[in-house]
Structure 1
């Protein structure tokens, strides 16, 4: 008789606590990030940076060409290019409150980043997600553009002057356009949001 052979237990297969997923990158807690998250942030940063650059360049041109000069009519009786140093905010409110307005801008950015999922519909799909992403980039760029002016210059340069006869709309700039478009887009999104179904 052959001696009893002791069976060697098979080596236990140890599976990693966090499995790699080809469609996403695992977080530290094992949850999976949505695919393309890094790419989305890169695109957002690039869009914001380009808009901020456009705002800065147009303000520099306005300061170089329009300061201490008469307004330049583009569409006579309707649209001029004119140099204005705005030491307040929209509509000339809160004049000479540069640093309080700068702090408000920083706080606004913080809240927008913190609540971006709710404000810009990050979890939405289709055209709503695209519209939310566009609004997000525009709003960040507008706030940052004017914030840079307030911190570096002590005022915001405005140069777009629309008027009807002697009635002038407050001068504004590229950053203001970004903020206005973002606000309009978010309002439109709020009207098209689906209300939760009521359970009977």
Structure 2
């Protein structure tokens, strides 16, 4: 499918409603976690799943969390840059390219949800804790989940787009060979 829209064709910006939903759901769940959970005290939900309020001044997997504060502005700048790039990509993307548009808006919603936390609180609020036995996956939130799902979808789009292009090239080659035989 064409990744670039033609002049006058509707853009994928219509999918920004999903970004708004992700940001709202993320911020609401973080506020609920702040109001209902005690910092660092796990609330078991399932044998492998707890709700645990934690603050992350770093990025994914607490990357750079131990630094002296400069990382807040570093990750803020990255989130702003990525958000601008994603909105531009959505503007250029044809509306009917739903899979890629959903992937991009999920990533954008997650980036904006965590950006809000960084700007307002100086850290990201995490509260979802998954574990198996004594091994714990780093705590995360709805924004992180949206970014992860969107990134997986984006990766799948890259793989399937390459396959579609290869199939289209093979079909064009076969058609040109068939017309040459007539």
Task: Give the TM interval when normalised to the shorter protein.
Answer: 0.7 to 0.9
Bigger Rg over Cα: 1
Q: CA RMSD in A?
A: 2.3
Pick from 98, 101, 116: which aligns with 1:130?
98
TM-score scaled by length of structure 1: 0.72
* Partner-residue secondary structure (3-state), 2:165: coil
Listed one character per residue, the Cα deviations across residues 129-164 of structure 1 (whole Å, up to 9, x for unaligned) are 121121121011000000000011000000000001
**How many Å separate the matches in 2 of 1:124 and 1:50?**
18
| Map 1:89-104 → 2, pairs under 5 A | 89-95=59-65, 96=69, 97-104=71-78
| Map 1:70-89 → 2, pairs under 5 A | 70-76=41-47, 78-89=48-59
TM-score scaled by length of structure 2: 0.78
**How many Å separate the matches in 1 of 2:111 and 2:124?**
11
Q: What are the ranges of 5 or more consecutive residues in structure 2 without an aligned counterpart?
A: 1-5, 177-182
Q: What are the ranges of 5 or more consecutive residues in structure 1 without an aligned counterpart?
A: 1-30
Q: Is structure 2 residue 80 aligned with structure 1 residue 110?
A: no
Structure with bigger RCO (C-alpha 8 Å, 6+ apart): 2
Q: Is structure 2 residue 125 aligned with structure 1 residue 172?
A: no
Report how many residues are paired: 159
Q: Which has the higher helix share?
A: 2
| Map 1:1-200 → 2, pairs under 5 A | 33-34=8-9, 36-37=10-11, 41=13, 43-68=14-39, 70-76=41-47, 78-95=48-65, 96=69, 97-116=71-90, 122-123=93-94, 129-193=97-161, 194-195=164-165, 197=169
Q: Which runs of 4+ in 1 moved over 4 A?
A: none
